Amino acid sequence: MDNRSLTERERIDALVFRLGISIRQLARLVDMNENTFYHITDNSRFGISERTASKICYNLEEKMHVIVNRDWLLNGNGEMILKQRESSPHVNEVMPSDNPMKSGTNRRKMNRKEVSAYSEKQRIEDFIYLLKTNHNLVLTGAPGTGKTYLTQQIAKGMGAITKFVQFHPSYDYTDFVEGLRPFDRGDGQIGFERRDGVFKEFCKLAAKNNKEDPLGEVGNQPFVFIIDEINRGEASKIFGELFYAIDPSCRGGKDYLVQTQYQNLVPDTDVFAKGFYVPENVYILATMNDIDRSVESMDFAMRRRFTWKEVTPADTQSMLDTLSCAEEAKATMERLNNAIAEIDGLGAAYMIGPSYFLKLGKNGGDFDKLWRMNIEPLLKEYLRGFRKTTEIIDKFRKAYFGEGYEPKVELIDEN
């Protein structure tokens, strides 16, 4: 049969059959909700986008060591599998939630909490691999998915020294790189002096750590610079000529020195006296809400220097483990997000993240209050301009509360 005559769903079915896994396992391998994945691969709706095809190919190569032909996924051209390494792990090794791992000499099955912890550890290791490989990584996703929390876990997993900043509309080059700052001269007069910005200071610390010691060894302590809400600032203005310096191919090399705007004022004793560079042990980890309108301000010169990774609520649901109602919260979040994914015009980018459900810890586990006070108003805001908003909200409400659940009715004494 000509593969080009197969529908996209049939090609996915053929792929999972060849790999010996299920659609559910494939969806988890590529970090996507199962229902969302079904809708994406349904020809009558969205179809497989180039981004989804790339995501499938990347994750299968990283987690199963199977190189799938991206063109085959999109158009049915060529062979399905281009290469399968000899060291390819069994699917059980990458799907702990469906195939519990055996541990130690007693080879016991992992319980649900252990499986969850193992899954989270694997996700963190995947993010660390991406960051170490590319040096610059942006975590994208809907608000409340715990992207900031995840950056802390990634840095902790690397054993890194970190610095945290949050971009905003007033943030500029002088805050980030260097600039002239006022100081009190002590005689009632105000003077100005060149001062390093937060990122340049951080790189200076990393560069000193990276120098050879008397024994000839080179420090390899990782330094992770975390930028929260990177799209809220004007990146071109903030980074300036550092667009060149942060490029992974220009890291740490003395052949790629950048002359900053105030280079003539840098003292000869400064580590960057001859020019600025970003040390090889510096990693930039940023977060971004991809549904914000400010995303459009990110130009392509900036985008191409970063690797972009979508974070879903499933990636950070372990945040809820501290709740007494953790399992119920996770199940509620999954049902609601499945319903959101089915709405044309919303999809995975508008899913509700675990940060919203953490409020259950402060409101006594009252799911009804969480819906009325936090989640329903947010969903109504998402649906502004949609037709049949009332019907959609009602669908979300039923998915949130589940079958057979009746919301609490508050009694008001009118006397």
94 touches 63 (CB < 8 A): yes
**Three-class SS of residue 275?**
coil
Residue (of 137, 283, 261) closest to 199 by Cα position: 283
Torsion angle, alpha carbons of 328, 329, 330, 332, to 10: 80
Each residue's pLDDT tens digit in the chain (415 positions)?
445 556 777 788 778 777 777 777 787 777 776 666 666 655 444 567 777 787 888 888 877 778 888 888 888 888 888 665 444 444 434 443 344 333 333 334 444 454 455 466 777 888 898 898 889 999 988 888 889 989 999 999 999 999 999 998 899 999 999 988 888 887 778 888 889 999 999 999 998 887 644 444 445 789 999 999 998 888 888 988 888 888 887 887 667 788 888 888 988 888 888 889 998 899 999 998 877 655 555 667 777 888 888 888 888 888 888 899 999 999 999 999 999 988 888 887 788 999 999 999 988 899 999 999 999 999 999 898 888 888 999 999 999 998 655 555 444 444 4
Contacts of 72 (CB under 8 A, 6+ apart): 3, 11, 78, 79, 80
**Stated pTM of the model:** 0.67
Residues in the chain: 415
Kindly report, residue by residue over 204-232, the tens digit of the pLDDT: 999 888 764 444 444 578 999 999 999 88
- What does the alpha-carbon distance between residue 120 and residue 154 come to, in Å, rounded to a whole number? 11
CATH architecture, range 3-99: Orthogonal Bundle (1.10)
Domain residue ranges of the chain, discontinuous segments joined by +: 3-99, 141-311, 321-401
The pLDDT value given to residue 77: 81
- What does the alpha-carbon distance between residue 374 and residue 356 come to, in Å, rounded to a whole number? 7
CATH architecture, range 141-311: 3-Layer(aba) Sandwich (3.40)
